[in-house]
Amino acid sequence: KQEVTQIPAALSVPEGENLVLNCSFTDSAIYNLQWFRQDPGKGLTSLLLIQSSQREQTSGRLNASLDKSSGRSTLYIAASQPGDSATYLCAVTKNDYKLSFGAGTTVTVRA
Partner 1 sequence: DGGITQSPKYLFRKEGQNVTLSCEQNLNHDAMYWYRQDPGQGLRLIYYSQIVNDFQKGDIAEGYSVSREKKESFPLTVTSAQKNPTAFYLCASSAWDGRYEQYFGPGTRLTVT
Cβ distance to partner 1 smaller for residue 21 or 80: 21
If binding is defined by CB under 8 A, does position 51 make contact with partner 1?
Answer: yes
Stretch that binds partner 1, among 14-22, 32-40, 68-76, 77-85 (CB under 8 A): 32-40
If binding is defined by CB under 8 A, does position 31 make contact with partner 1?
Answer: yes
Phi/psi at 29 (nearest 5 deg)?
A: -80, 65
Cβ density class 21-34: b for 16+ within 10 Å, e for less: bebbbeeeebebbb
Site string for partner 1, 66-95 (x = CB under 8 A): -----------------------x-x-x--
